[in-house]
Amino acid sequence: MIGSEYPRYLTKTSKRFNPIELAEITRKIVCKTCSDGAEARKYTDFYVVWVYQGIATGYVVGCNLRCVFCWSDFSRDYPELYGEFYRPDEVAEKLRRLCVEEGVERARISGGEPTICLDHLVQVVEEVEHIPEIETFLLETNGILLGYDESYVKKLAQFKKLIVRVSLKAGTPEEFSRRTGALPEFHELQFRAIRNLLKHGITTYVAAVTDPRLVKPEERREIFRKTSEIDPVLAQILEEETIDPYETSLMRLEAAGIDLSQ
């Protein structure tokens, strides 16, 4: 049963939350252990997206942040209402089939936060390691759990096909909290995730929302400075993201009282 306190999209009066606790609560809604020990997770869809030269994508339900610019559908805010459970082997097979049908060699999980159900994620990547039709598996993450618990990163370090993309949400704790709804002290975990990933030899790159309508030049500089402190090369190749006018993004920005035109 989901409590009335469960954070949905942000409003001007939303209470800030602990994203580690939110991950745990959300995990109970979107993941379940099967009788053979496999962990199933809720997905809303599977299809190929024509970014990264084409990538087979499974859209998971549930996240531990509430970014105001998030384009994900409302399964992020109401995970109990959306999606169907898929086992890791079913997910891997769906991704494989999409790769073959559309002639692409990359796969990923997107839409929500993949690390919330770590066992499921590990089991999917394990399956993918044995699928010749899939060359690369991209893990797109906000990094919060990978920064919080290094053992998560250790579990992922065994996979050769894995590439991780950490998406930074802000350059300061205050802006992180304003944009994601999480308490400001959790901002640092995004950067600690990058450190942990590099420490364990995982191919990693960094993206950050630097849209000038939302991010002031001094904050943008801080994002680059903090990334460069970890690894100057990562800062040089940092992927800058702008906010696309998806219906969900615009609705969330408006609900949070953020006007990009000002």
Binding site for ligand SF4 (CB under 6 A): 63, 65-67, 70, 72, 76, 112-113, 142
Q: In this complex, which beta carbon is closest to ligand SF4, that of residue 67 or of residue 189? A: 67
Q: In this complex, which beta carbon is closest to ligand SF4, that of residue 70 or of residue 99? A: 70
Question: Beta strand 55-60 with 106-110: parallel, antiparallel or unpaired?
Answer: parallel
- Taking the complex as a whole, the smallest distance from the CB of residue 61 to ligand SF4 amounts, in Å, to 10
- Taking the complex as a whole, the smallest distance from the CB of residue 160 to ligand SF4 amounts, in Å, to 26
Q: In this complex, which beta carbon is closest to ligand SF4, that of residue 60 or of residue 99? A: 60
- Taking the complex as a whole, the smallest distance from the CB of residue 100 to ligand SF4 amounts, in Å, to 28
* Whole-angstrom distance, CA of residue 255 vs CA of residue 258: 8
Q: Yes or no: say if 113 and 152 are a contact pair by the CB < 8 Å rule.
A: no
Q: CA angle, 67 as apex, 63 and 71 as ends, to 5°?
A: 85
- Taking the complex as a whole, the smallest distance from the CB of residue 62 to ligand SF4 amounts, in Å, to 9
- Taking the complex as a whole, the smallest distance from the CB of residue 33 to ligand SF4 amounts, in Å, to 23
Q: In this complex, which beta carbon is closest to ligand SF4, that of residue 127 or of residue 204? A: 204
Q: In this complex, which beta carbon is closest to ligand SF4, that of residue 25 or of residue 99? A: 25
